[in-house]
Structure formats: C-alpha cells, structure tokens
Amino acid sequence: MKGRWYYVVTVCSLGLLAWLPFVHAGTHLRRRSVTMLACGYGLATVVIGTLLAVTPTDENGKSTNSAVGVVGVLLMMATVALGCVQQSALRREVYSGAPPKDTVDPALAAALEARERRENARRIAARDPLLARDLKIGRPDLTRTFDDGGLVDLNSAAPRVIAESCDLPVSTGEDIAAVRPPGGFLTVDDVLSLAEIPVAAWDIIRDRAVTIPRPDWRA
C-alpha cells in the first residue's frame, strides 16, 4: 500500500519526524493548510527535543525529574497518534493522483465569474431599465465603473460594438442595427428572427446580448 512510510517514519521516530510526511504532502498538494501542519509538527519536534535536553539525569543517565519526563512522553504519544490520523487522508490524496480539491483553473474561474456578472446585469435591466442605462449596462464603448460581464445592448450600441462584443463580422452588426425597430427590440430572440444571422452565432448572441428599452420608447 503506497504511502505507508508516512506511518513508519512517524511511529519509529516517536513523533520527532512526524513533520516529514506533511512536508512531502505539501509539495504535492500545494495547500497552505498542509504547510501549516508541517510547521506545527516541526514546532512539536523542537518542544520535545527541548524537554529531553533540559531533563536532569543522574550519573547513570536516568532522569531525576519525573514531571518533565512524563510531559515529554505524553507529547510524543500525542504527536504520533494525531500525526497518523491526519496523515491518513493526506496519504490517500497524494498517492491516488487526485488533483487538489481547491485547485481551480484561472481561465475557467474568470469565465464563470463573467457569466454570473452578465446574469446579474440582465436582472437589473429587466427590473429597472433606467438604472441599467445609468450604469451603462451593455455599452462597453462608454466610460463606466459597473462591470456587466461583457454584455452589449442591441438597442443602443453601434454596429461595430455589437460585432466586437459578440465576436461577429461587422456586417452582421450592421444588419442588426438596420432592422432595429423604432422602440427597440423587446427580446434578444426578436433580433434573431429579424436579422440575417447565422444559426451558429445564436448561442453567443444570447449569451452576450441584452435588450434595454430606449428612453424615448412609447407604448
């Protein structure tokens, strides 16, 4: 069984080398919590070593201070027991080849965060169009401080901005602007039915686009 040396080192050294398996696990898992455990057991080794060094002995080498000796022995036993328990899960994780649970690809995290920001901006636009316009949601061409995750407003953005935001040819952005009704599109799907847009581009438009009513719209 792989990783059994964790226990062997800890038990045979009476806890003095219990920190070593944690150092090994830390280099593989790259987690701060494991590094802190290694430091903790290293500190325990220093304390045990200090107790052993300061314990007075007689001419035969026997301890003459039973209290200090008992504390040292109890600390060794606790280090061995606790070390083996904590090493058990780490050993399986290191030798199973499983990736660390808290490792997230930065690109994936950024994409998911941007998607969440777009959904939040859409909720604002649906609930309060005036606030959405004040925040300049869907207008990456304007100076703003609110991060909408990369949305583009099909009712107000220029063709070039629409094309860049949705990764479309400029001509497609111009087609969208050309069929824009006086009051603006009601939904993104209205755009897909009115403009000549390749079906392959529908998903990205639904993901990146929003339709915010124009301020001069009349029922």
Q: How confident is the model at residue 60 (pLDDT cuts 50, 70, 90)?
A: low
Q: At what angle do helices 32-54 and 66-96 cross, to 10 degrees?
A: 160
Mean of the per-residue pLDDT values of the chain: 88
For residues 159 and 8, give the distance between their C-alpha atoms in angstroms, rounded to a whole number.
69
CB-CB contact of 137 with 210 (8 Å): yes
Section 146-163 average pLDDT: 97
- The least confident of 96-100, 137-141, 172-176 is 96-100
Is residue 219 predicted with pLDDT exceeding 70? no
pTM score above 0.75: no
Q: Give domain limits for the chain.
A: 5-96, 106-210
Tens of pLDDT along 103-139? 668 899 999 999 999 999 999 999 999 999 999 999 9
